[in-house]
Amino acid sequence: MSEITKKLLENTSKPLGAPALLVLEDGAVFSGTSCAAQGEVFGEICFNTSLEGYLEVITDPSYAGQIITMTYPQIGNYGVNREDCQSEKPALRGLVVRDMCQVPSNWRSELTLPDFLRENNVVAIEGVDTRALVRHVRDNGAQRAVLSTLDTDAESLLAKVRASESIVGVNLAETVSRSEKATFGIDDLPKTQAFALTAPAPAKYKVVAYDCGAKLSIFQNLVRVGCELTAVPWDTPAEDVLAMNPDGVFLSNGPGDPDAVSGTYTQVEKLLGKVPVFGICLGHQMMSKAAGAQIEKLKFGHRGGNHPVMNLRTHRVEITAQNHGFGLLFPTLGELIPEESAGETEHRDDLRFWVEKCVAPVVRNEKFGRIQLTHVNLNDGTAEGIAFLDIPAFSVQYHPEASPGPTDAHYLFTAFSRLMDGREDYLDIDIAADRLAGWKFGGEVNA
């Protein structure tokens, strides 16, 4: 930072932070100043491309073990409203921004983001060239990083980060899951959001939700479509879940390597075919693992609110919110069934092949029969959703609850209720008619 910049900052309402350093395991160094708690943290560097919703991102338990870089330049400009938080406390390791706003402007704001971060002991750095950092991660892939306000010696930090633990092979879900079951109903919906949202549907379905690091807004959206939720720990035995006699089972989002969360997917294997199941993000991976599929680690993951996904059943494109670093390898679910895959017999690594053919291919799975590819990421051709055709179960890789993000995928909560009603066409919903469902500004769409 130049001397003139220091002098300018000294005469503004923005305090001048202490020096801070971000060092990646490949030796890349990014300098800045501290803008939250003091400390030294290690995690996997990642980036989120959302233009808004920084509080929901920061409090998403799926970021456990990671240092988040926000690509939008100014963060904190509308402050913090605690009812928008997605968990009781942030699970991320650290935060990287270009500019941290110290004086927010919003009628719902309760406190500044820097104060919230300090309150939760989150280390953050500002003044970083986040465009350069994101380009570096895109080119070189996700990797370990260290963020420090205590040690600003690059060589020292490089040695430390190369000795730190990777998130691969680590069960991070158990670190953010609840320790005992809890219920969620209409009375638990945030009161400060009532100005924008219509009244929820009356409770109709009894649903057990595996909490592997669930975002609260996902539970809230399930409640809004008529679900009475009982959330249970990540490793709850399937026998205990079935003993609750649920109308359906929900598998939540969560952090880290799905291969390490055997305590969940071994139970999911026992549940599939016994009760309707809906999985989101890590829940999608848990269903895939239960069916015997392989999971790959993506180069730099999908994180943000602008990822285009094709629904192969309706041929509609959804702009989706995503947060994951691992993904399903669809060909590992089984061999293609030619008569249900437009005559095709060979798998393709790039699943945009099926987008071009306007076909939702079907494989024969050894455990659960036919499984259909329902959604494909249009950016990189990876799998974004599957449906089990011989048992009542489906899952998607992205987050449909719009916290933060677009509302295009809201229909998936409606689809789950239709699945529990026994409808075969549960996924065939026009998103143009559903995307504003539940919002007061939706007009006749809400009727």
Who's near 46: CB < 8 A, 6+ residues apart?
63, 66, 67, 68, 69, 137, 142, 300, 301, 303, 325
Which pair of structure tokens corresponds to residue 244? 């609750």
Residue 66 counted as an annotated binding residue: no
How do residues 205-256 score in pLDDT, each as one tens digit? Answer: 999 999 999 999 999 999 999 999 999 999 999 999 999 999 999 999 999 9
Residue 282 counted as an annotated binding residue: yes
Other CB atoms within a 10 A radius of the CB of residue 421 amount to 12
Please give the angle made by the CA atoms of 133, 212 and 217, to the nearest 5 degrees. Answer: 75
Q: What is the 3-state secondary structure (H, E, C) of the chain?
A: CCHHHHHHHHCCCCCCCCEEEEEECCCCEEEEEECCECCEEEEEEEEECCCCCHHHHHCCHHHCCEEEEECCCEECCCCECHHHCCCCCCCCCEEECCEECCCCCCCCCCECHHHHHHHCCCEEEECCCHHHHHHHHHHHCCCEEEEECCCCCHHHHHHHHHCCCCCCCCCCHHHHCCCCCEEECHHHCCHHHCCCECCCCCCCEEEEEECCCCCHHHHHHHHHCCEEEEEECCCCCHHHHHHCCCCEEEECCCCCCHHHCHHHHHHHHHHECCECEEEECHHHHHHHHHCCCCEEEEEEEEEEEEEEEEECCCCEEEEEEEEEEEEECHHHHCEECHHHCCCCCCCCCCCHHHHHHCCCCEEEECCCEEEEEEEEECCCCCEEEEEECCCCEEEECCECCCCCCCCHHHHHHHHHHHHHCCCCCCCCCCHHHHCCCCEHHHHHHHC
Residue 326 counted as an annotated binding residue: yes
Placement of tokens 């995690």 in the chain: 43
What pLDDT score was predicted for residue 31? 97
Per-residue pLDDT of the chain (447 residues; tens, 9 = 90+): 677 777 776 677 677 789 999 999 999 999 999 999 999 999 999 999 999 999 999 999 999 999 999 999 999 999 999 999 999 999 999 999 999 999 999 999 999 999 999 999 999 999 999 999 999 999 999 999 999 999 999 999 999 999 999 999 999 999 999 999 999 999 999 888 888 888 899 999 999 999 999 999 999 999 999 999 999 999 999 999 999 999 999 999 999 999 999 999 999 999 999 999 999 999 999 999 999 999 999 999 999 999 999 999 999 999 999 999 999 999 999 999 999 999 999 999 999 999 999 999 999 999 999 999 999 999 999 999 999 999 999 999 999 998 888 889 999 999 999 999 999 999 999 887 777 777 776 554 433
CA distances from 251 to 235, 267, 396, 433 (A): 11, 11, 11, 26
CA distances from 376 to 14, 272, 308, 368, 372 (A): 44, 23, 9, 21, 12
What pLDDT score was predicted for residue 196? 83
Residue 443 counted as an annotated binding residue: no
What domains sit in the chain, N to C, each tagged with a CATH number?
18-162 (3.50.30.20), 173-446 (3.40.50.880)
List active site positions. Answer: 281, 399, 401
Residue 166 counted as an annotated binding residue: no
Residue 334 counted as an annotated binding residue: no
Is residue 93 within 8 A of residue 6, CB to CB? The reply is no
What pLDDT score was predicted for residue 423? 96
Give the whole-angstrom CA distance, residue 413 versus residue 309.
Answer: 17
Is residue 234 within 8 A of residue 263, CB to CB? The reply is yes
Is residue 399 within 8 A of residue 215, CB to CB? The reply is yes
What does pTM read for this prediction?
Answer: 0.94
Residue 105 counted as an annotated binding residue: no
What pLDDT score was predicted for residue 432? 79
**By C-alpha distance, which of 139, 121, 133 is closest to 97?**
133
